[in-house]
Amino acid sequence: MEQILSNPMALLVIVGIVSIACQYLAYMLKLPAILPLLLAGLVLGPITGVLDPDALFGDLLFPLVSLAVAIILFEGALTLKFSDLAGHGTMVRNLCTLGALVTWLIATPAAYYFLGMPLQLAALFGAIVTVTGPTVIVPMLRTVRPNARISNILRWEGIVIDPIGALLAVLVYEYVVAAQGAFEHTLLIFLKVVAIGFGLGSLVGYGLGALLRKNWIPHYLRNTAVLTLMLGAYAASDLMSHESGLLTVTVMGIWMANMKGLDVDDILEFKETLSVLLISALFILLAARVELFTLTQLGWGALLVLAAIMFVARPLSVFLSSPGSGLSWRELAMLSWIAPRGIVAAAVSALFALKLDTFGLPKSELLVPMVFLVIIATVVLQSLTSKPIAKLLGVRARYPNGYLIFGGSKFARMLGKDLLDKDVPVIIADTNWDAIREARMEGIPTYYGNPISEHASLTLDLSTVGKVLVLSPYKQLNPLVTYHFEHVLGQGTVLGLSHGTQEGRASHQVSEEYAKKLELFSENATYSRLASLVGRGATIRTTRLTETFTLDDYRETYGNRATRLYVIDPQGRVHINTVSHEYALKEDWQVVSLIAPEQIAEKPAEGTSLPDGDMSMG
C-alpha cells in the first residue's frame, strides 16, 4: 500500500478514478457534483493524508491550477451574451449587476470584522462569493420545482453572473496584488493590468472570432485551436503584466460570445469532456490542500459571515433588484433563499490563495476554507430546506403536465401545436435547424441542439415537462435520450415510436428492455408510417364522445383511417395512447386522432404497417 501511495503515477490514477466516481455518485443521487468532489478531496487530503498535491506536483501545481481556472473562466465568459441581460427580464439584469454589488458590499465588511481579514483580502472574499452557479442551481430546481418565473430567474442568474462575478473577483485581485507595492505605484500597476487585460483580451477575442467566422480553421481543429490559443493569450498576458492573464481570458470569452455571426455553441463542446476529468480532478486537489487546523481557526466568526451572506446580503439584493419585476412577495422570498455557490467560487478562491501565499498577506490561509464553507453550507442547507419552504410559500409549480417532444418532423409539430391549443405545455427539441425553424414559425417553444447535452441541462427549462415523447428518426440518439430522461424524470416518463418489424441486421437490433418503451400510439405507428400519412394529407382531429356519438360511432366513422394519439378525460387530463394501455372511454371523453384522407384508406392486417413513406423531417 505504501508503495502505491508513494508512486506519483498511481496517485494521479487514483485522483482520476475518484473524480469519475464522484461524478457518477452525483448523477445517481441527483446532487451537484461539487459536493462529493470537495468531500472526497477533504478525505484524501487532510483527513487521511493519502494525497498531498504540493508533494505530488511540486512547482507544477501552480501553473496547472492556473491553466484550469483560466479554462473555467473562459468557458463561463463564452456564455455571457449581453442580450441575455435584457432578454431575461429586469430581475435577472438587476440581480447580476446591482445584486452582485450589494452582496460584495455586505460580505466584505462581514469578513473584515468577524474574521479579522485585512480589508483587501475581505474585499476579494466578498467578490468571490457573489457568484452562484448553474451547475449547483439546476439540480436543486429539479427537486424544488418552483414556478416557472422563479425557475427561469434563478437559472439565468446562475449562467449570466458566472463571468460577471469572476470579472469582479479578478479586478479586485489585481488591485490587491498591485497594492503590495509602494502606494504611489498601486494605481498605475492596476491600470496597466486592466489595460492589458481588456486590450489583449479584445484583440485576441476578435482575431480568433474572425478566423472562426470565416472558416479559416478546419472544423476538426476548432475546439483544440480555441483552447490552445486561449491558453496562449493567458500566458502572453501574464508575461506582459504579472497576473493579468485571468482578466484577459475573461474579456476574450465575453468578446467572442457577443460577436455577430459567430456561433460559440460548438466551441463550448470541449468543456463537456474536459471538465469531467480536468475540473473534477482540480477540485479534489484543491480540497486536499485545505489544512484541518485552518478550519478550526475559522471559529464563530465564520458562522456570522455565513449568516450575513445568506440572511442579509441575498434578501437585500433580491429586494433592491425587484422594482419593475412584477414578482409577489412570496416569489421574492423564495428567490432570497436560493443562492448556492459553485464551481467558479471554489476554483478562483483556491488559485488566488496559492498566489497570495507568495505575498505573505495576513489571514490569506482562511480564504479557501471560508469559501468552501460557504459553498457546502449553501448547497446542503438550501437543498434540504428549499422544497418545504416552496410548499409553505405556495410557489411550487403544479405537477408538470407538459411534454418534451424529441424530433421536429411535420407530424411532431402538428402534435405539439394540437397539445398547445389545449393549454398543455410543449417543447420541441431537435438537432435539425430546418425543423426547429418551422416549429418556431408555428409558435411552438423549441430547443435547438442535443437535449441531453450539458448545454441543454443548464438552459433547457424542464419545469413544466412531465413526459418525453421520442418522435425522431435518429436511431442512434433515441435510446440515449430515452435513458437520460428516464433518469431525470423517472421510470415510465419516456415513450417512443415502434420500429415496426425488426430488421435482421445486428446494428438494427434493440434490447428487450428498450423495446418495451417503444409503444407510443399503436404497434404500427412507426416514424416512416406517420410521415407518410402526414405527407399524404392526414390531419389531427379531436372527437368528443357523447350520448349520441359513442365509441362505436367513432370506430364506424373513421375505421382504420384513425390512429389514436391521446385522450382527454372529463377533468381535462391528457392520457397518451400506448400499445399496452387501453382507456375505457365513456361519455365526455375526447379522442384525438391522426385521420388519414378517405382516398388513401387501407385495410391492413392487425399489427402490420402501411407502406413506408418519405423519411424526411417533413
What's the pLDDT score for residue 273?
Answer: 65
The domain boundary residue, chosen from 349, 375, 393: 393
Whether residue 7 is contained in a domain is answered as yes
pLDDT digits (tens, 9 = 90+) for 132-169: 877 778 778 877 888 878 887 887 788 778 777 777 88
pLDDT for the residue numbered 305? 93
User: What is the pLDDT, as a whole number, of residue 271?
Assistant: 63
Closest CA to 188 of 199, 174, 198: 174
The one-letter amino acid code at 367 reads L
248 and 117, same structural domain? Answer: yes
Q: CATH code at 513?
A: 3.40.50.720
pLDDT tens for each residue of 574-588 = 888 888 777 777 778
Average of per-residue pLDDT across 219-248: 86
For position 361, what pLDDT does the model report?
Answer: 74
Which residues are paired to 448 by β-bridges?
A: 430
Same domain (yes/no): 132, 251: yes
Identity of the amino acid at 589? W
- Same domain flag for 358 and 268: yes
For residue 609, being part of any structural domain is answered with no
Specify the residue for cell string 501574464. Answer: 238
Contact 289, 53 (CB under 8 A): yes
Q: What is the mean pLDDT of residues 226-235?
A: 91
**How many residues belong to the chain?**
618
Residue 608 maps to a domain: no
501: cell is 418489424
Q: Of 330, 359, 393, which marks where a domain is finished?
A: 393
Coarse DSSP helix, strand, coil percentages of the chain, rounded to the nearest 5 percent: 65, 10, 30
pLDDT tens for each residue of 603-617: 444 444 433 333 333
Contact 451, 478 (CB under 8 A): no
pLDDT tens track for 255-296: 988 888 887 766 766 666 676 677 788 888 888 888 777 777
pLDDT at 501 over 60: no
pLDDT at 412: 92
Residue in 193, 215, 213 with CA at minimum distance from that of residue 258? 213
Q: Which amino acid is at 289?
A: R
CB atoms within 10 A of CB 552: 9
Distance between CA atoms of residues 279 and 259, nearest Å:
27
Say if residue 452 is in the same domain as residue 340: no
Residue 94 has pLDDT above 80, yes or no: yes
Q: Are 224 and 71 in contact (CB under 8 A)?
A: no
- Greater model confidence, 614 or 440: 440
Domain assignment present for residue 611? The answer is no
pLDDT digits over 263-272, tens only? 776 676 666 6
Residues β-bridged to residue 146: 396
DSSP 220: G
Q: How far apart are CA 2 and CA 18, in angstroms?
A: 18
Q: Examine the domain organization and report whether 315 and 366 are in the same domain.
A: yes
Please tell me the distance from the alpha carbon of residue 616 to that of residue 164, in angstroms, as a whole number. Answer: 43
| Separation between Cα atoms, residue 436 and residue 421, nearest integer Å | 19
Residue 154 lies in a domain: yes
Same domain flag for 339 and 457: no
Verify that 300 and 373 share a domain, yes or no. Answer: yes
Same domain, 418 and 363: no
Q: Which pLDDT belongs to residue 181?
A: 57
Query: Angle 355-246-196 (CA atoms, 0-180°, nearest 5)?
Result: 110
Q: At what angle do helices 148-178 and 343-356 cross, to 10 degrees?
A: 10
- What pLDDT score does 185 carry? 61
| Domain hosting residue 440, numbered range | 402-600
Strand partners, 58: none
Distance CA 105, CA 99 (A): 10
Among 391, 465, 353, 457, CA closest to 136 = 457
Residue 377 sits in the same domain as residue 503 = no
Residue 605 lies in a domain: no
Residue ending a domain, among 341, 362, 393, is 393
Per-residue confidence at 88, pLDDT binned at 50, 70, 90? low
Question: Is residue 471 assigned to a domain?
Answer: yes
Using 50, 70 and 90 to split pLDDT, how confident is the model at 54?
Answer: confident
Highest mean pLDDT among 223-237, 239-253, 496-510: 223-237
Q: How many domains does the chain have?
A: 2
Per residue in 367-414, pLDDT (tens digit) is: 888 888 888 888 888 888 988 999 898 888 777 788 999 988 899 999
Mean pLDDT of 43-62: 85
Percent over 70 (pLDDT), the chain: 89
Mean predicted confidence (pLDDT) in 545-561: 80
pLDDT band at 107 (very low <50, low <70, confident <90, very high): very high
pLDDT at 333: 92
At 113 the pLDDT is 92
Tell whether 311 is covered by a domain: yes
pLDDT band at 510 (very low <50, low <70, confident <90, very high): low
Q: Which CATH number is 260's domain given?
A: 1.20.1530.20
439 and 338 housed in the same domain: no
pLDDT band with cut points at 50, 70 and 90 for residue 554: confident
- Do residue 333 and residue 431 come from a single domain? no
- The confidence score (pLDDT) of residue 571 equals 81
Given a cut of 70, whether residue 502 has pLDDT beyond it is no
Element containing residue 174 per DSSP (H, E): helix 148-178
Give me the pLDDT at residue 105, please: 93
Question: Whole-number mean pLDDT of the chain?
Answer: 81
Identify whether residues 471 and 410 lie together within a single domain: yes
